[in-house]
């Protein structure tokens, strides 16, 4: 998802030799990191990997030289070559010393743009795993985890997302295993849970009751491993749990249950392991919420008495005198009680901050835990010093800050609780999607003649491929499949966003999680588990929420220096106020009666340390991206990550394909004109025999129309076609009954040296004037007929173009159709700029032309021939009803196939990024304003100072406010202009 699907047609056969001549600088010897022995160098020889990168911004050979030298300075680079003409760089490197991301960053540091091209040339043994990382608190944590994982040998690419607390690792399984990643993360001090290995493998967890020994569990493991399609079995004897990874097209969970029950001769009972205990995302999030709530609740038990002893009871005459009683020398009863109550808060309840700061410092970094630990320790241990000195000195009377340390920890825990609670709501979109699947399904057993023999209710997770499922009215479809019996209407709005129920009858496909409305359906399961459309949508949204938007680099850079800078500022604040008090730089009347100049300076220093919040800055982008992509999914707009979201808000030019995008996409033959004497049925036999091999919508329309001339409409037997050839953007050719058949546009006829008579020219002009597509048919190099195919403009297309114009977005149409039809459709839609008769590569070139003119370009298409343009565009938008390749190539998928969703995607992107800007303004403004106030900037003039516990509360509130600001996106509503579209379209239907 992170890398675009790269031009299938353009880069399939890229090799080193494909790079055009470029100035080549003398190759530097391979540079190895310091300390690498000659033996290690010999080991890595022969383990080279290749990377092909797209480099933008190069204008001459000097630029190419700069790029090449920047890459060769990296350790582990064997060879590098730069092609300035095509804007590419080819690098041969050793993955144990350097990776593609480092190479890409080196090129960017040299002043050029760089994107990794992942195609067959650069493809190597690679696997993806996802790991849950518990314990990260701020951007520094996620950045450190990313850096450590990226440095592991065999790792190609790493993404660590703070908001989702997950890592996605692309690695070479021949060099490294997931166990090593888990151990590395745990060594950093975080809890690591493997979510998935990224293979197209389903996984299920089974609980086996009745097993008494470890030996029996091992026997079950071996029995299941022996089944075809089983990849791996993990055994947890203490929980009587089996985790089975398998290929769903070969086996399934019911097979495992049968094996287990047979092995135990009926003594074992099996059930799917409860999701909560299995560690689902929701369960883990809830456990984290519960932990913070328990910690906060216990902290209140001790903190409230400390607060009362410090701020309230001391002013009540009777109680105050009792608290002022001396226990040992000058140590009072009140001081002793505050010390006793604050200690559990500091070291037991606040233990998480010590643990987090120790782990961070051990790896050479500093995070929010370091600031909290330093601030609370300064207050606590100064108070301990004050109390102990009072206990051993007969005339010393000091002031303690035990309420400061305990209240600081309590408020921070409250802030973390609210933050985790709010962050849980950012992923509600995924939770809702996952809950669409029904819990149970009705499994049918069919007899030899297709009759129903039996019916059984099973857990929907036990469905296997080719099962027949009964779906009653009002029930959800349990699995992707197709209807083998019955008819009904199915509400697919929860998946596609399409509000109107879709009619389903025998042969139609259905999607798991959709709602059957009024009829009984028998559905044959075709895609189960991780293969289902629902699972893929969930995975797509998860990937989108993990992906970092480019704007987040800003926060990542600041986070590296934020905590050290705050510590320096805090110490400087304390030192400045302390020296100012020592040398009388301010009146003694400024010092409160309950403290001296040292204590006043200490409070200022602690306030600076705890008010600074790196969390707010780190959460500004990922939380908004999570909510934005989730809202998009609920609106039927699947946005593949922060990069697409960020690019979409800048779009000021949209290039539309015509067929299936601006038009309905269901063309029909409206007239036929023969130019030679021939029986119409024989003519369409030949034409359909040729076009039946084509995937183009126009070809399908011709075949469908041809069936009307057959006796057997259900299963027409077309003549056999040989040597079928598809010329993308022009037409098709084949040999049918020893006759050469050519079907396509005028350009194809001229290319094949077929004469086009004046009569045919006139017919084409008439057809195109009516916004229809003219198709020429030649048999044995003689023009035989002209077909007129109509594909009407989509309802609302004109209004969409008009709204885009009001949003200052230019609309362009690029199509492979003829000029006449293209101009007519463009006129109807209100598009001024048109390019017709364009091949796929020409569409991509048109995209690049507009980009070169300074536009941020979005491409909207639905076909295979749109894929290169979708990839070339800054934002590729695929119509949901389009081909899988177009959807894979796109950055945004419009599930409802409605044009108005283009507006929704752009508007949602703009709203999301205005929210991100607001988050950054708040996070930065908060720190820039809060730190000076905490440092006492207002104290000289107004006497106002910020006590440390209030500063801590403000720090906790800042990250909560940023998350809540992002959560407001949940109430996003598409532009009001689109509200009338649905009503009008229903009227037209």
Q: Which residues are catalytic?
A: 657
Q: DSSP letter string over 746-794? A: HHHHHHTT----HHHHHHHHHHHHTTEEEEEEEETTEEEEEEEEE-PBP
370 touches 565 (CB < 8 A): no
Give SS3 for 901: helix
Q: DSSP letter string over 511-564? A: -TT-EE-SS-EEEEEEE-GGGSHHHHHHHHHHHHHHSPPTTHHHHHHHHHHHHH
CA distances from 915 to 172, 415, 418, 908, 968 (A): 38, 21, 20, 10, 9
Q: What is the dihedral of CA 242, 245, 246, 251, to 10 degrees?
A: 20
User: CB within 8 A of 842, min separation 6: which ones?
Assistant: 814, 835
Exposure string over 742-754, b if 16+ CB within 10 A, otherwise e: bbbbbbbbeebeb
Tell me which residue of 327, 352, 318, 332 sits closest to 402, measured CA to CA: 332
The two beta strands, 875-879 and 857-861, are: parallel
Tell me which residue of 102, 192, 609, 549 sits closest to 368, measured CA to CA: 609
Half-sphere exposure of residue 392: CA atoms within 13 angstroms, side-chain side: 5
CA distances from 665 to 697, 698, 863, 898 (A): 7, 9, 11, 12
What is the C-alpha to C-alpha distance for residues 114 and 89, in angstroms, rounded to an integer? 9
Backbone φ and ψ for 569, nearest 5 degrees, come out as: -65, -40
The two beta strands, 241-246 and 202-209, are: antiparallel
Which residues are bridge partners to 242 per DSSP?
206, 235
Backbone φ and ψ for 518, nearest 5 degrees, come out as: -135, 5
User: CB within 8 A of 546, min separation 6: which ones?
Assistant: 159, 161, 164, 166, 168, 641
Residue 956 C-alpha from the chain's centroid:
28
User: CB within 8 A of 736, min separation 6: which ones?
Assistant: 686, 689, 690, 719, 720, 721, 722
End-to-end CA distance of the chain, in Å? Answer: 37
Tell me which residue of 583, 299, 558, 560 sits closest to 415, measured CA to CA: 299
What is the C-alpha to C-alpha distance for residues 282 and 424, in angstroms, rounded to an integer? 8
Triad 897, 903, 909: Cα angle to 5°: 110
What is the C-alpha to C-alpha distance for residues 648 and 56, in angstroms, rounded to an integer? 19
For the chain, how long is the longest CA-to-CA vector?
A: 125
What is the C-alpha to C-alpha distance for residues 746 and 749, in angstroms, rounded to an integer? 5
Does residue 110 come out as left (phi exceeding 0), alpha (psi in the -120 to 50 range) or beta?
alpha
Give SS3 for 271: strand
* Residue 663: DSSP 8-state: B
Q: Across the beta sheet with 782-790, what order do the strands follow?
A: 668-674, 782-790, 772-779, 739-744, 731-736, 721-727
């Amino acid at each position: 998802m992170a890398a675009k699907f790269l031009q299938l047609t353009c880069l399939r056969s890229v090799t080193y030799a494909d790079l055009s001549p470029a100035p080549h600088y003398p190759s530097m010897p391979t540079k190895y990191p310091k300390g690498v022995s000659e033996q290690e160098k010999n080991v890595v020889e022969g383990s080279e990997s290749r990377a092909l990168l797209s480099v933008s911004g190069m204008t001459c050979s000097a630029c190419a030289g700069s790029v090449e030298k920047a890459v060769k300075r990296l350790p582990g680079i064997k060879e590098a070559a730069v092609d300035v003409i095509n804007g590419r760089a080819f690098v041969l490197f050793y993955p144990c010393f350097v990776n593609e991301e480092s190479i890409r960053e080196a090129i960017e540091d040299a002043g050029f743009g760089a994107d990794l091209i992942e195609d067959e040339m650069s493809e190597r043994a690679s696997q993806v795993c996802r790991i849950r990382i518990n314990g990260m608190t701020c951007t520094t944590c996620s950045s450190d985890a990313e850096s450590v994982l990226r440095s592991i040998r065999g790792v190609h690419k790493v993404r660590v997302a703070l908001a989702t607390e997950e890592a996605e690792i692309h690695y070479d399984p021949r060099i490294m295993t997931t166990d090593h990643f888990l151990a590395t993360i745990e060594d950093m001090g975080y809890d690591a849970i493997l979510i998935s290995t990224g293979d197209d493998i389903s996984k299920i967890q089974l609980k086996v009751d009745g097993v008494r020994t470890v030996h029996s569990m091992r026997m079950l493991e071996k029995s299941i491993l022996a089944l075809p399609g089983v990849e791996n079995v993990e055994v947890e004897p203490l929980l009587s749990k089996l985790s089975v990874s398998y290929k769903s097209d070969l086996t399934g969970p019911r097979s495992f249950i049968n094996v287990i029950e047979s092995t135990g001769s009926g003594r074992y009972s099996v059930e799917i392991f409860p999701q909560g205990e299995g560690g689902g995302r929701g369960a883990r999030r809830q456990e984290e919420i519960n932990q913070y709530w328990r910690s906060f609740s216990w902290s209140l038990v001790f903190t409230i008495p400390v607060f009362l002893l410090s701020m309230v009871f001391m002013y009540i005459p009777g109680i105050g005198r009792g608290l002022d009683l001396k226990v040992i020398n000058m140590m009072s009863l009140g001081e002793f009680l505050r010390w006793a109550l604050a200690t559990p808060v500091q070291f037991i309840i606040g233990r998480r901050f010590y643990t987090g700061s120790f782990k961070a410092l051990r790896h050479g970094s500093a995070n929010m835990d370091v600031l909290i630990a330093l601030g609370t320790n300064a207050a606590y241990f100064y108070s301990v010093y004050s109390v102990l000195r009072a206990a051993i000195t007969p005339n010393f009377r000091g002031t303690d800050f035990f309420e400061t340390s305990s209240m600081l920890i309590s408020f921070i825990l409250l802030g973390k609780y609210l933050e985790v609670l709010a962050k849980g709501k950012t992923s509600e979109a995924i939770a809702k999607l996952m809950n669409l699947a029904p819990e149970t399904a009705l499994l049918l057993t069919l007899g030899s003649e297709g009759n129903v023999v039996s019916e059984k209710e099973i857990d929907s997770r036990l469905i296997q491929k080719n099962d027949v499922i009964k779906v009653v009215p009002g029930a959800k479809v349990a699995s992707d499949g197709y209807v083998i019996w019955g008819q009904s209407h199915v509400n697919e709005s929860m998946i596609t966003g399409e509000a109107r129920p879709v009619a389903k009858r025998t042969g139609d496909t259905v999607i798991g999680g959709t709602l059957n409305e009024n009829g009984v359906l028998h559905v044959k399961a075709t895609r189960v588990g991780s293969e289902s459309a629902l699972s893929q949508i969930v995975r797509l949204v998860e990937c989108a929420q993990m992906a970092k938007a480019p704007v987040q680099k800003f926060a990542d850079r600041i986070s590296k220096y934020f905590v050290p800078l705050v510590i320096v500022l805090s110490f400087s604040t304390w030192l400045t106020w302390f020296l100012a008090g020592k040398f009388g730089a301010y009146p003694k009347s400024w010092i409160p009666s309950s403290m001296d100049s040292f204590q006043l300076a200490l409070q200022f220093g602690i306030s600076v340390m705890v008010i600074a919040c790196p969390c707010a800055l780190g959460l500004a982008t990922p939380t908004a991206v999570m909510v934005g992509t989730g809202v998009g999914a609920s609106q039927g707009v699947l946005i593949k990550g922060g990069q697409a979201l960020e690019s979409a808000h800048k779009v000021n030019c949209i290039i539309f394909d015509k067929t299936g995008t601006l038009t309905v996409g269901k063309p029909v033959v409206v007239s036929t004109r023969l130019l030679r004497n021939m029986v119409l049925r024989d003519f369409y036999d030949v034409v359909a025999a040729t076009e039946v091999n084509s995937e183009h919508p126009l070809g399908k329309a011709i075949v469908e129309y041809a069936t009307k001339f057959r006796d057997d409409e259900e299963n027409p037997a077309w003549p056999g076609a040989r040597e079928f050839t598809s010329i993308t953007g022009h037409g098709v050719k084949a040999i049918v009954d020893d006759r050469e058949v050519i079907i396509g546009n005028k350009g194809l006829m001229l290319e094949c040296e077929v004469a086009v008579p004046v009569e045919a020219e006139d017919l084409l002009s008439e057809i195109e004037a009516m916004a229809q597509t003219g198709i020429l048919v030649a048999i044995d190099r003689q023009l035989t007929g002209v077909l007129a195919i109509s594909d009407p403009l989509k309802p609302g297309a004109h209004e969409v173009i008009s709204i885009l114009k009001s949003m200052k977005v230019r609309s362009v149409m690029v199509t492979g159709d003829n000029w006449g039809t293209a101009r007519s459709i463009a006129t109807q839609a209100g598009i001024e700029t048109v390019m017709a008769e364009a091949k796929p590569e020409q569409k991509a070139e048109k995209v690049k032309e507009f980009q070169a003119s300074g536009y941020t370009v979005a491409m909207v298409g639905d076909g295979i021939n749109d894929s290169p343009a979708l990839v070339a565009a800054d934002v590729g938008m695929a119509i949901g009803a389009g081909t899988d390749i177009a959807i894979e190539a796109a950055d945004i998928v419009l599930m409802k196939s409605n044009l108005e969703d283009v507006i929704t995607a752009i508007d949602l992107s703009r709203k999301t990024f205005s929210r991100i800007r607001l988050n950054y303004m708040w996070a930065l403004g908060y720190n820039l304003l809060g730190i000076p106030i905490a440092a006492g900037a207002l104290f000289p003039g107004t006497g106002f100072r910020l006590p440390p516990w209030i500063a801590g509360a403000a720090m906790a509130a800042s990250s909560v406010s940023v998350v809540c600001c992002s959560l407001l996106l949940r109430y996003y509503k598409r532009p009001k202009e689109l509200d009338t579209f649905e009503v009008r379209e229903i009227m037209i239907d």
